[in-house]
Structure 1
């Protein structure tokens, strides 16, 4: 069947439950449509409870959370921030917002996240150059926990504060502890394609009350405590609205179910695509890791001398598109982006290889068995 024969299957569309409208209707009935209100307070409390961290500031995007998080750690013009190359552009762009420069580090194959060995190499080399990194961005890609103990140990050894980018990892854990709670500051995204959504939104979490209060101050235009509008420093219009926070409250009730369903989808793909030669669903969870499986990803093996080559990722993407199925290449590494062509890079072979061989499959929690079989059938057809 061709594209016109089926409704489109999206990569990770929003999936609302039954309770979001209750919070939104209540806000409208009470005329709480201004930026702040009870839903905002409640949403922040829900996030704190889910992550096991005492303070939260709900914001209008995960990118805003990254920007504020870096500012809270003192990042400013002329500073350097360690960052995985294999990530979404917002991670690195937030560094530039502060006038600082990203220093990119390669990934490792176990989790696809920042490589501890390359990270040590980067830190020691920057120190030799007289430039101690101001902060470390720890990203958990596609909801897979990074090698948390190794990375945190390095950060502690060299006294570098950690900003934990858990934008894709709400509901993921390391040794039972939720991701987002390991860094001095953690951030989440509630963009429309995330495991939970507020349409557009994000959040910053912290163990330190003073940091959270500082974030809240900066996110509301840095308005001083005065009866008139007085400002002594630059602030930002970064707060989430009370209406969108109502969507978030209803979504947070579904977190456990949404993680369970994403993990089921990953397991289904792994079982039913196992027979396709040269295609691997992954990465697997290392001991101690529990991924939310935000997106199911596949890697195509390099051609073997004695085996028929697997179709390249772009051929698979086009084959799926012909069946009106959305898929997407893995993130293009930042060191390959024109925007960051002049940034230092430590390693690069691993994340470049992952980008060249990987693809993201439809993973939305509303997918049915028929939807999954449709994806698998299109892939089998592409493999011939």
Structure 2
């Protein structure tokens, strides 16, 4: 029995042709015409003025935070439910991460609680470098509510859109919110450059300084001279060629993932105690890139651990939702504003195979196995 994976890279002859073109051009080392093209096409897609191709989404977050002045003595407010890279980028700068709990509906940050946390920190005289927002599992958070509140308080926003390229909110694309935004092109994302990321902004000075820092902060003189610490963060021309090909197919890959989401929604709708995170019907997912379809299983006499393990026995890869940062040993002493929502989602949330390369037969197999597991739990309860 072949294994069904969660979200594998989906590469075709389109990408192969462009990578071969890059190889034959002689631009094998970092930078080159494919990097320039990829930056331009991503900026056009998202609707921002400038883009900087980097070695990872984490690098993009790090440079974005540095641009906001994050460092020792500063605070960065961010969701607790996120991948560790979001929080780790804060540590890179020496700033203090302060975590905020989730909304139970879609696992994105609880906007009201975040605003309350900002007010509390400001009342205490804390220096907030920025709010670092995260668009989880391919769904933008409610920026229509959040941005006006931050603007009133004079707190800048950085958007971690690593999981959300192709998603939108109120007609605006993920990656276009805030002073700057980060994308990820890791191997399991909606599109990939194997490894890589992008920093986006309308602020040309921010992008220019980030570009300088990302190339080891080399001074513009005929020899290698450095007046401040830089980083080796630039994307290679070959990986950018892969990205150009993937971007040309992005809408088709999103469409396929949305079809999987609709199948899951239709087939699992009658199971008691089961819901799709953030909704699941077509009208609910219209602004979502459907990167990963996630279930919340509650009141069925089981847990995420059990379901992930049982699906594994069927050679189906499933995973938990992100383990909240305030539960991680590395961040156990960090300050957090909590309601318990993210802990509940972690205990009962499961991500299902969602890749655009999956066939209808693959999705049938996942649904059959999952239905059998959950119905068996209900009957045993």
TM category, shorter: over 0.9
**Number of the residue aligned with 1:247:** 242
Which among 304, 323, 336 is matched to residue 332 of structure 1?
323
**Number of the residue aligned with 1:163:** 158
Taking the aligned partners of 2:207 and 2:128, their CA distance within structure 1 comes to 23
Taking the aligned partners of 2:248 and 2:56, their CA distance within structure 1 comes to 20
Residue 293 of structure 2 corresponds to residue 296 of structure 1? yes
Taking the aligned partners of 2:326 and 2:152, their CA distance within structure 1 comes to 26
Which among 361, 378, 382 is matched to residue 352 of structure 2?
361
- Normalising by structure 2, report the TM-score: 0.95
- Secondary structure of the residue aligned to 2:99 is strand
Post-superposition Cα deviations, 1:4-54, rounded to whole Å, max 9, x if no partner, equal: xx1111100000122112221112112110101010001101101110111
Which among 167, 181, 190 is matched to residue 172 of structure 1?
167
Residue 209 of structure 2 corresponds to residue 214 of structure 1? yes
**Number of the residue aligned with 1:314:** 305
Residue 132 of structure 2 corresponds to residue 141 of structure 1? no
Q: What RMSD in Å do the two structures reach over aligned CA positions?
A: 1.4
**Number of the residue aligned with 1:323:** 314
Q: CA deviation at 1:135?
A: 0.5
Point out the more displaced range, 310-319 or 87-96.
310-319
Q: CA deviation at 1:132?
A: 3.0
Taking the aligned partners of 1:126 and 1:69, their CA distance within structure 2 comes to 21
Q: CA deviation at 1:287?
A: 7.7
Taking the aligned partners of 1:76 and 1:261, their CA distance within structure 2 comes to 42
- Secondary structure of the residue aligned to 1:133 is strand
Work out whether residues 174 and 288 of structure 1, in 8 Å CA contact, stay in contact via their aligned partners in 2.
Answer: no
Taking the aligned partners of 2:291 and 2:214, their CA distance within structure 1 comes to 28
Post-superposition Cα deviations, 1:174-222, rounded to whole Å, max 9, x if no partner, equal: 1221011011001100000000000000000010111111111110000
Q: CA deviation at 1:172?
A: 0.1
Q: Which runs of 5+ in 1 are unaligned?
A: 1-5, 304-308
Residue 89 of structure 2 corresponds to residue 94 of structure 1? yes
Q: Which runs of 5+ in 2 are unaligned?
A: 377-381
Which among 238, 253, 262 is matched to residue 257 of structure 2?
262
Work out whether residues 144 and 169 of structure 1, in 8 Å CA contact, stay in contact via their aligned partners in 2.
Answer: yes
**Number of the residue aligned with 2:219:** 224
Residue 264 of structure 2 corresponds to residue 273 of structure 1? no
Taking the aligned partners of 2:101 and 2:118, their CA distance within structure 1 comes to 13
Task: Kindly tell me the number of residue pairs found equivalent between the two proteins.
Answer: 373
Q: CA deviation at 1:357?
A: 0.9
Post-superposition Cα deviations, 1:84-106, rounded to whole Å, max 9, x if no partner, equal: 00111110110000000101111
Post-superposition Cα deviations, 1:74-120, rounded to whole Å, max 9, x if no partner, equal: 11112100000011111011000000010111111233211121112
- Secondary structure of the residue aligned to 2:40 is helix
Work out whether residues 105 and 277 of structure 2, in 8 Å CA contact, stay in contact via their aligned partners in 1.
Answer: no
Q: CA deviation at 1:289?
A: 6.7
Residue 184 of structure 2 corresponds to residue 189 of structure 1? yes
- Secondary structure of the residue aligned to 1:186 is strand
- Normalising by structure 1, report the TM-score: 0.95
Taking the aligned partners of 1:348 and 1:278, their CA distance within structure 2 comes to 21
**Number of the residue aligned with 1:3:** none
Work out whether residues 9 and 326 of structure 1, in 8 Å CA contact, stay in contact via their aligned partners in 2.
Answer: yes
Point out the more displaced range, 206-215 or 22-31.
22-31
Taking the aligned partners of 2:70 and 2:229, their CA distance within structure 1 comes to 15
Taking the aligned partners of 1:96 and 1:296, their CA distance within structure 2 comes to 30
Residue 377 of structure 2 corresponds to residue 374 of structure 1? no
CA separation of 1:287/1:151 partners in 2, compared to 1, >3 Å: closer, same or farther?
A: farther
Taking the aligned partners of 1:56 and 1:253, their CA distance within structure 2 comes to 17
Q: CA deviation at 1:275?
A: 2.3
Taking the aligned partners of 1:116 and 1:34, their CA distance within structure 2 comes to 43
Which among 115, 119, 123 is matched to residue 120 of structure 1?
115
Runs of 4+ in 1 over 3 A off after TM superposition: 285-289
Taking the aligned partners of 1:130 and 1:175, their CA distance within structure 2 comes to 34
Taking the aligned partners of 1:175 and 1:134, their CA distance within structure 2 comes to 26
